[in-house]
């Protein structure tokens, strides 16, 4: 059973701090990794994708991938109350159809003013 | 990305009835995907819908329960048949216009009573 594991939280950080969200996956041959943000009552929206080991930065967001450890993380710098949401980690199913992603249950982030 | 519209956005349904969810995309896409998000759970792929062929269902999902249509490259429908309270979920239409990065529609929130 291919799985994606996330700490459900809630993770609470003060405004302006760095929020660190972590994710592990079981399928060693996975190639594509994604972070989605889901506000309460809304559908998930893509934040970042990452395919290679190392860091990928986009504004206040940095995704980190370590395939050897089967670990992917998302750092949010200068956290804002508007970042309060559930963050979903997703991993592709190697050999599966395009668009077949396995999602974690998400980590709920709360940024306190 | 793509603009994906779903109807209905929310509905309350009686058990034993069926409901059809519509998904419209603003550009032509080869594949459309239907996901389900049960309360407190991660997103799970129901099926992949290709135009001109039968949908491909994931393990645990069957055509009799979730019939799908894909009449053209911008539209798809998902029917949830003979609903029970366990079918209360968010149903999400999604597309992957480039590679395996998927984008979600607004979702359809279904409550079965």
Comparing CB atoms, the residue among B31, B40, B41 nearest residue A99 is: B31
State yes or no: pLDDT of A8 exceeds 70: yes
Q: Which two tokens stand for residue B47?
A: 């099926």
Residues 72-111 in B contacting A (C-alpha not used; CB under 8 Å): 90, 92, 94-96, 99-107
* Pairwise CB contact (< 8 Å): B100 & A92: yes
DSSP conformation class of B27: S
pLDDT digit string, tens, across residues B17-33: 999 999 999 999 988 99
Cβ of B43 within 8 Å of Cβ of A88? The answer is yes
3-state secondary structure A24-90: EECCCCCCCEEEEEECCCCCCEEEEEECCCEEEEECCEEEEEECCCCEEEEEECCCCHHHCEEEEEE
Measured CA distances, B23 to A31, B12, B28, B74, B84 (Å): 28, 19, 12, 8, 22
Q: What is the mean pLDDT of chain A?
A: 93
| pLDDT given at position A93 | 79
* pLDDT of amino acid B79: 98
What would the pLDDT profile of A12-63 be if each residue is shown by its tens digit? Answer: 999 999 999 999 999 888 889 999 999 999 999 999 999 999 999 999 999 9
Looking at the complex, report in whole angstroms how far the Cα of residue A92 sits from the nearest Cα belonging to chain B.
8
Extract long-range pairs of B60-68: CB within 8 Å, 24+ residues apart.
Answer: B66/B34, B68/B34
Residues in chain B with CB shorter than 8 Å from the CB of A101 are: 43, 45, 100, 102
pLDDT over 80 (residue A98): no
> Which residue from A45, A99, A103 is facing B96, i.e. has the nearest CB?
A99
The count of residues in chain B is: 113
Q: What is the pLDDT of residue B1?
A: 74
- What whole-number percentage of chain A has pLDDT above 90? 81
Q: What is the pLDDT along chain B (113 residues), one digit of tens a residue?
A: 789 999 999 999 999 999 999 999 999 998 899 999 999 899 999 999 988 888 999 999 999 999 999 999 999 999 999 999 999 999 999 998 877 788 999 999 999 99
Structure-block tokens of residue A72:
């992917």
Burial A29-41 (b: 16+ CB within 10 A, else e): ebebbbbbbbeee
Sign of CA dihedral A95, A101, A105, A109: positive
Please give the pLDDT value at position B52.
81
pLDDT of A97 reads 67
């Amino acid at each position: 059973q291919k799985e994606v594991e996330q700490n459900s939280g809630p993770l609470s950080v003060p405004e302006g701090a760095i929020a660190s969200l972590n994710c592990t996956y079981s399928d060693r041959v996975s190639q594509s990794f994604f972070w989605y943000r889901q506000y309460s009552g809304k559908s998930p929206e893509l934040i970042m994708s990452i395919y290679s080991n190392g860091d990928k930065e986009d504004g206040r967001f940095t995704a980190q991938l370590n395939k050897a450890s089967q670990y992917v993380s998302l750092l949010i710098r200068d956290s804002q109350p508007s970042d309060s949401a559930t963050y979903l980690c997703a991993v592709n199913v190697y050999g599966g159809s395009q668009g077949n992603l396995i999602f974690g249950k998400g980590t709920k982030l709360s940024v306190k003013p | 990305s793509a603009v994906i519209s779903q109807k209905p956005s929310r509905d309350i349904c009686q058990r034993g009835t069926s409901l059809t969810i519509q998904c419209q995309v603003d550009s032509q896409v080869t594949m459309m995907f239907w996901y389900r998000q049960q309360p407190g759970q991660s997103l799970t792929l129901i099926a992949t819908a290709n135009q001109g062929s039968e949908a491909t269902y994931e393990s645990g999902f069957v055509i009799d329960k979730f019939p799908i249509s894909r009449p053209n490259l911008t539209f798809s429908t998902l029917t949830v048949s003979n609903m029970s309270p366990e079918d209360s979920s968010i149903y999400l239409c999604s597309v992957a216009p480039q590679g395996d990065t998927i984008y979600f529609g607004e979702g359809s929130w279904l409550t079965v009573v």
